Amino acid sequence: MKKTVFKGAATAIVTPLTENGVDYERFGKLIDWQIAEGIDALVVCGTTGEASTLTDEEHREVIKYAVERVGGRVPVIAGTGSNDTAYAVDLTKYACEVGVDAVLAVTPYYNKATQKGLIASFLAVADASTKPVILYNVPSRTGCNILPATALALAEHPNIVAIKEACGNISQIAELAALTRGKLDIYSGNDDQIVPILALGGIGVISVLSNPMPKETAEICRKFFAGDVAGAAKMQLDLLPFINALFCEVNPIPVKAAMAAMGFCDNSLRLPLTPMEPEHEKAMLDIMRQWKLI
C-alpha cells in the first residue's frame, strides 16, 4: 500500500494579497487558525490560492513560508501543476526541496492534452518528485478530463498516490473507485460531494468551504469515518446553501470576500478576477451571519 498523505479535510487555502504583494502576516495567522480549528492538511498555491496570477517568485515564497510556518503540525501540499510540463517539473523539484509533504498536480490547462499526453506529463512530474503526487482532475477549468483508465495507469507509478476529483460526475468517480481500489486514494474536489465521494471509498476532501469553516468541514469527514453517516449527510445538506454561495461566482472570488469579512485578508484579487457582485456578496454574508461566522 502507498503512503496516505492525509485523511479527512484539507483546506485549499486562500493567499492573502495586498496591492504590494502577499500579506504574510495575515497568511501566517490564517495558517495557525486553520490548524487550531482542527484541519487535517493545508494545500497552498492551488486554484483557491490564486496560483495562476502569483509571480514565479511569489509562488515559491508562499510554498516555503507555509512549510516553515506549519512546522510539521499538519501536512503541507503544494500546487505545482502547469500547462507547461517542464515548468511543473521545476516547481515540483523546488517544493520537494523546501520540505512539502506532497504536491498537487493539475491537468495541463488550455493545451487540452490527450490521455496519452496526460500520462506522459504526469509521469514526468512524478519522476521528478521525491514526495507523493496527488493528481487534480478539474475539467471545467482545464478543458481536459483524467479518465478512470488513465488514472489506473498512472497509479502504477510509486509516487502517484491520490487524486483530487472535481469532475463533478459521480458515475465517473464510481468507475474510478472501482478500477483503482487500493491503488489510489480519492479526495473530493467539490464541497457539495464530500459525503457521496466518501461513500464510494474516498478518504477526504480538498476544500474551499474549510477556509471559513475548517472545524465543520473536518467534522463531516470525522462523523462519516466514525460510522455516523446520517450525521455527516445532515451537515453536508445543512451547509449546502453556504457552499452554493461560495461557488455562485468563479472560485476564489466568493471565498476571498468571505475571508475578508472574517478579517483574515483584504478582499484583494488579481485580474482577471474581480470582486464579488454586491447582490451575491450580500446573500453570502447573510448566510455567514446565520452561521455566526461574522
Coil, strand or helix: which one is 19? coil
Could you give the angle at which helices 253-261 and 278-290 cross, rounded to 10 degrees?
50
* Annotated catalytic residue, options 164, 187, 223, 256: 164
Residue pair 252/14 in contact (Cβ under 8 Å)? The answer is: yes
Q: Is the dihedral of CA 129, 135, 140, 144 positive or negative?
A: positive
DSSP 206-256: EESTTTT-HHHHHHHHHHHHTT-HHHHHHHHHHTHHHHHHHTSSSTTHHHH
Length of the chain counted residue by residue? 294
Catalytic-residue membership of 136: yes
99, 39, 31, 89: which is closest to 63 by C-alpha? 99
Catalytic-residue membership of 164: yes
Distance linking the first and last C-alpha atoms of the chain:
43
* Annotated catalytic residue, options 64, 131, 136, 256: 136
Q: HSE, CB side, 13 Å, CA atoms: give it for residue 8.
A: 20
Q: Report the catalytic residues.
A: 136, 164
